[in-house]
Amino acid sequence: MGSRAFYEDATEAYQLPRVVRLAPNLFAVCFTLMKMIPARYILRRALREGLLAPGTIIVETTSGTFGLALAMQAAQLDRRLILVSDPAIDDRLHRRLTDLGAVVERLAQQAAVGGYQAARLNRLAEIRRELPATFCPEQYSNPDNPRSYAVVAELLVEALGQVDCVVGPIGSGGSTGGTTTFLRSVSPDCRAIGVDTHFSVSFGHPDGQRGLRGLGNSLMPPSMDHRVFDGVHWCTAAEAYRATRHLHRRHALFMGPTSGASYLVGRWWAQKHPDALTVVLMPDEGYRYLDTVYDDEWLAAQGYGATVLPDEPLTVSDPTRPGSRWTAYDWGKRSYTEVMASARDDLVELR
Partner 1 sequence: MARDGVTVLLAGDTSTNAMTIAHDVVPHRFARHRCAVQTRPEQGNDVAQTHGLDLGWTKARTVAPQLRLGVGEAHAHHGEVLQGVFYRDDGRRSRALVTLPFPSRGSRAVFRAGAGESGTVTVDGEEFAKVRRAAELTLRALPGAPAGGHVEITSDVPRGLGLGSSTSDVTATIRAVADCLGAAPTAEEVARLAALAEGACDPIMIEDRVVLFAHREGTVLETLGPRLPPMIVVGCDTDPGGAVDTLEHPPARYNDWEIGAFVVLRTVLRRAITAWDVPLLGKVTTVSAQINQRFLPKPDLDFLLAVCREEGGCGVQVAHSGTVAGVIFDPSRRGTVDAVARCVRRIEDHGLPTTNVIGADLLPKGLDAGVS
Nearest Cα residue to 240 out of 137, 310, 337, 139: 310
In the complex, minimum distance from the CB of residue 231 to partner 1, in angstroms, rounded to a whole number: 23
Q: Are 305 and 192 in contact (CB under 8 A)?
A: no
Longest dimension (CA), the chain: 65
Specify the residue, 275 or 311, whose C-beta has the smaller distance to partner 1: 275
CA distance 94 to 70: 13
CA distance 308 to 322: 20
How many residues sit close enough to partner 1 to count as binding (CB under 8 A)? Answer: 19
Interface of this chain with partner 1, residues 294 to 323, rule: CB under 8 A = none
| DSSP-assigned states of every residue in 208-266 | ---SSTTS--SS--TT--GGG-SEEEEE-HHHHHHHHHHHHHHH---B-HHHHHHHHHH
CA distance 16 to 28: 13
Nearest Cα residue to 208 out of 332, 10, 217: 217
Q: Are 212 and 236 in contact (CB under 8 A)?
A: yes
**Of the candidates 51, 77, 103, 157, which one interacts with partner 1 according to CB under 8 A?**
157
In the complex, minimum distance from the CB of residue 41 to partner 1, in angstroms, rounded to a whole number: 10
Interface of this chain with partner 1, residues 83 to 102, rule: CB under 8 A = none
The 42-81 contact track toward partner 1, x by CB under 8 A, reads: ----------------------------------------
Of 150-158, 241-249, 257-265, 313-321: span binding partner 1 (CB under 8 A): 150-158
Residue 239 found at the interface with partner 1 (CB under 8 A): no
Residue 1 found at the interface with partner 1 (CB under 8 A): yes
Contacts of 141 (CB under 8 A, 6+ apart): 221, 222, 223
Specify the residue, 183 or 237, whose C-beta has the smaller distance to partner 1: 183
**Of the candidates 128, 147, 227, 325, which one interacts with partner 1 according to CB under 8 A?**
147
The 117-146 contact track toward partner 1, x by CB under 8 A, reads: --------------------------xx--
Helices (H) and strands (E) in the chain, counts: 12, 12
**Of the candidates 55, 87, 101, 161, which one interacts with partner 1 according to CB under 8 A?**
161
In the complex, minimum distance from the CB of residue 147 to partner 1, in angstroms, rounded to a whole number: 5
| DSSP-assigned states of every residue in 6-21 | S-SSHHHHHHSPEEEE
The 163-202 contact track toward partner 1, x by CB under 8 A, reads: ------------------xxx-xxx---------------
How far from 183 is each of 68, 133, 157, 279, 347, CA to CA, in Å?
27, 37, 8, 12, 36
Residue 29 found at the interface with partner 1 (CB under 8 A): no
Specify the residue, 47 or 219, whose C-beta has the smaller distance to partner 1: 47
Which residues make up the interface to partner 1 (CB under 8 A)? 1-2, 143-144, 147, 149-151, 153-154, 157-158, 161, 181-183, 185-187
